[in-house]
């Protein structure tokens, strides 16, 4: 049984988006590492759990505040097939 993917966007666009998100996340992980002294160690594994939760929180918050998330959602919806 072969796996067949149907994509709404060209593969190059998806790979570019993935690369951009990956690079941005590296920056937000670095920012979260800087903030680690002020983040409580709730799990006992602060470098593995709280670090990535904080990086994800900062990443999502920054994209919401700057309007990038809204812009991306609007642009992505243009690609969705119209229902009859």
* Alpha-carbon span 75 to 36, nearest angstrom: 35
pLDDT(40) > 80 = yes
| pTM > 0.75: yes or no | no
Q: Write down the pLDDT at residue 19.
A: 94
Q: How many domains, in total, are found in the chain?
A: 1
| Within a domain: 54 | yes
| Within a domain: 83 | no
| Burial (0-12, 13-18, 19+ Cβ within 10 Å), 24 | middle
Q: pLDDT band at 82, cuts 50/70/90?
A: low
Share of the chain above pLDDT 90, in %: 40
Q: Write down the pLDDT at residue 45.
A: 86
Q: How far is CA 82 from CA 7, 19, 77, 78, in A?
A: 15, 28, 10, 9
Q: How far is CA 79 from CA 35, 70, 72, in A?
A: 38, 15, 11
| Within a domain: 18 | yes
Q: pLDDT band at 64, cuts 50/70/90?
A: very high
Residues in CB range of 35: below 8 A, 6 or more apart: 54
């Amino acid at each position: 049984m072969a796996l067949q993917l149907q994509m709404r966007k060209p593969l190059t666009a998806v790979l570019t988006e993935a690369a951009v998100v990956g690079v941005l996340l590296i920056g937000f992980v670095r920012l979260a590492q800087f903030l680690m002294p002020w983040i409580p160690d709730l799990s006992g594994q602060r470098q593995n759990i709280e670090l990535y939760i904080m990086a994800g929180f900062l990443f999502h918050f920054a994209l919401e505040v700057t309007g990038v998330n809204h812009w991306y959602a609007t642009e992505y919806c243009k690609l969705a097939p119209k229902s009859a």
